[in-house]
Chains A and B, each alone.
Chain A
Amino acid sequence: MFKVNHSGIIFLTLAFGVISFIASLSLGAADISFSDVITSLLASFSTDKDASEVIFYERIIWELRMPRAILAFLAGCGLAVSGLILQTVTRNPLADPYLFGISSGASLGVVISIVLLGSTISVITPVAAFAGSLVAMLMLLMISGRRQSQQVESMLLAGVALSFLFSSFTSLLLYHTDPQAVTAILFWTMGSFSRAQWSILWFPAVVIISCVIMMLAYRRQLNAMLLGDESATTLGINVNRFRLVMLVLSSLITATLVSLCGGIGFVGLMIPHIVRFFVSQGTVFGIMLTALVGGIFMIWVDVLSRVVLENQELPVGVITSALGSLFFLSLLYFRKNKA
């Protein structure tokens, strides 16, 4: 019975995910009805394409909205899973993919590419962001990998210090640049899925799917880490090495996503907590649910970012932070009342 319940919940969540996905294809500046979405989705698998309207819709759906929705879903999955990994291996409920200076490294990379290379919208930006976050990650590993004892503490402190270091460089560069670049950078740091294209989707997909598979494989080790380093050691885990591997995994996810979507706060921190309110996190079920809920949440955030203001797009990060924290606060409030 226990097991049936779990697969039932996963199935329902998946079904809701599919509905959310189709809804996100339908909603936006050009209003396409649900049935039109289905028709054009089905039409693309058949050979007779006649109605020009359908072809127009098809282009919007296939070339604009679908890669966006997929990127949003992947970003949500990735950030939630990355947050779950970090919170587990550092045993710190406040750990977050952006805590370790990875996103500030990415921001610095972007700012350098815009200010020094003068490239505002090009392929260079994501590459620069990825390079920046990799530099941040390597610096963190060099600092925290060396000290074996108190690794968690030095990791967290080093992450915060690196974060400030990169931010100060970013601010310095921004201070000496023209206002136009500042606006571009600001929008980028608040997150957006507008860069989504079919040609780049394979990259986050490969990174995130392989990381989730690795996490599922290491689920017992991750659970064991929650009971403390010493306890985990007695279960046969090389604690320091395991933590470094997991840090690299989550940094890779974050670097990939930051380079494509910019900074999106809240999801990595809060989605694991929200799921943890209801289910035990360390099972296959808990990990899958965290990934799915993160992805679905992000699909709806993307929808909101497109429909809230007419003819204008809101930064995704603004919505995740506002919506997510309100939801989380109400959850805390009702749980407190219930207890």
Chain B
Amino acid sequence: MNSSKAQSSAINTANTALLSVQHLSWHADSQLILDDISFTIKKGSFTGILGPNGAGKSSLLRCLYRYVKPDSGSVQFNQQDIWQQYDAYQYAQDIAVVLQETPTHFNLTVHDVVALGLLPHKGLFTREQASDRLKIDCAIKQVGLADKNLQNFEHLSGGEKQRALIARAIVQTPSLLIMDEPTSHLDVRYQIQVIELAKSLGITVIASFHDLNLASAMCDQLLVLDKGKLVEQGSPQAVITSEMLSNVFGVCAQVSLHPQHKVPHISYFYGYDIKEKTAESRALPHV
């Protein structure tokens, strides 16, 4: 009885792992960018990728959304290798990506951009059906841009652009959403809004963050990269520690519990020399 239970739970974990990365390494111009990285992403979870600038966050995400091919190791999505058992078109039906910068000098409307979410699901000569248009309109409404439907995408604010791109992802109907620093350049209100919007979709999300407090509050699982290596992974409680902050980010900080949400909350100390940090942080009282 017990063993069968254990067995079924093992099958369960295997089934709930949506994405599994094994010993992934990648280098560019003879420089090792990602070094032997392994982790799994559970179905329905919200995973944050943290790390200082140049740690390899964007490169790791690129390996996940099939933009660059790793030199060694594998990325499996639904237990299938993304390079051997998927082509770009099939993969795009399952995975949507929201990137940081979307430069465009051309007159695309919000509606046009959101409609691109249909691309992986449409043949060359198929037209948009009434149901497709409904889907697009619903997605635009869902992200709160209904009144900007026919506006030029370029003229939107940073937060609105991100929301429009999330609407495109909604239309793409993926089972995994990948976002590369979705909150950079946004003010606090939009940062929270964009992440809550992504969470509200009810699908698996992987996003890279610079705001550690936001990541701590919003994510189920955190991965910390430093110089191309995966140095920490686990729940925010396990990962966000003053030790990690001084080792990886080189900052001196105190970690307490968020008064409302009971997640780790970081208070940074300013003007502390990193060399002295251990002594200083030890001297500081923990809450």
Contact = CB atoms under 8 A, between A and B. Distances in A.
B105 A282 contact: no
A235 interface: yes
Interface in A218-258: 218, 220-221, 223-224, 226-228, 230-231, 233-238
Contact of A234 (B97, B101, B103, B112): B97
Given A224-B116, A227-B113, A283-B112, A234 B95 contact: yes
A46 B152 CA distance: 53
B109 A220 contact: no
A25 B101 CA distance: 51
A6 interface: no
Contacts of B91: 236
A178 B60 CA distance: 64
A320 B118 CA distance: 39
Nearest to A238: B88
Contacts of B109: 280
A88 interface: yes
Nearest to A234: B97
User: Which of B67, B93, B95 has its CB near the most chain A CB atoms (within 10 A)?
Assistant: B67
A214 to B, nearest CB: 9
Interface residues of B, number: 35
Given A224-B119, A281-B107, A230 B88 contact: no
A151 to B, nearest CB: 14
A282 B108 contact: yes
Contacts of A217: 124-125
Nearest to A2: B150
Given A233-B67, A236-B88, A236-B91, A227 B116 contact: yes
B92 A234 contact: yes
Contact of B119 (A228, A236, A277): A236
Interface in B119-136: 119-120, 122, 124-125
Given A88-B106, A280-B109, A283-B112, A231 B97 contact: yes
Given A224-B116, A227-B116, A283-B112, A276 B67 contact: no
A224 B102 CA distance: 11
A45 B109 CA distance: 47
B77 interface: no
Interface residues of A, number: 28
Interface in B172-205: 172
A234 B96 contact: yes
A224 B88 CA distance: 14
A234 B108 contact: no
User: Which of A88, A224, A234, A283 has its CB near the most chain B CB atoms (within 10 A)?
Assistant: A234
Nearest to A286: B107
User: Which of A91, A223, A276, A277 has its CB near the most chain B CB atoms (within 10 A)?
Assistant: A223
A235 B113 CA distance: 12
A315 to B, nearest CB: 31
A220 B117 CA distance: 10
Contacts of B88: 233, 236-238
Contacts of A279: 107
A281 B154 CA distance: 14
Contacts of B103: 91, 228
Given A224-B119, A235-B120, A280-B112, A230 B67 contact: yes
A135 B177 CA distance: 45
Contacts of B93: 236
B99 interface: yes
B270 interface: no
Contact of B124 (A218, A238, A280, A281): A218
Contacts of B105: 91, 93
Contacts of B31: none
Contacts of B104: 91, 226-228
Contacts of A226: 104, 106, 108
B46 interface: no
B116 A223 contact: yes
A77 B97 CA distance: 36
B65 A234 contact: yes
B106 A281 contact: yes
Nearest to B58: A230
Nearest to B116: A224
B66 interface: yes
B118 A228 contact: no
Given A233-B67, A235-B92, A228 B116 contact: no
Given A91-B104, A217-B124, A235 B112 contact: no
A230 B66 CA distance: 10
A302 B71 CA distance: 58
A231 B92 contact: no
Contacts of A91: 103-106
A271 to B, nearest CB: 14
Interface string B36-58: 00000000000000000000000
User: Which of B66, B90, B93, B124 has its CB near the most chain A CB atoms (within 10 A)?
Assistant: B124
Contacts of B113: 227
Given A93-B105, A235-B172, 11 more contacts: A88-B106, A226-B108, A227-B113, A228-B99, A230-B67, A234-B67, A236-B87, A236-B93, A276-B106, A280-B107, A281-B106
Interface of A: 87-88, 91, 93, 217-218, 220-221, 223-224, 226-228, 230-231, 233-238, 276-277, 279-283
Ordered nearest first, which 6 A-B pairs have the shortest CB separation?
A236-B92, A234-B97, A236-B89, A217-B124, A236-B120, A220-B119
8 contacts: A223-B115, A227-B113, A233-B66, A234-B95, A236-B92, A281-B107, A282-B112, A283-B112
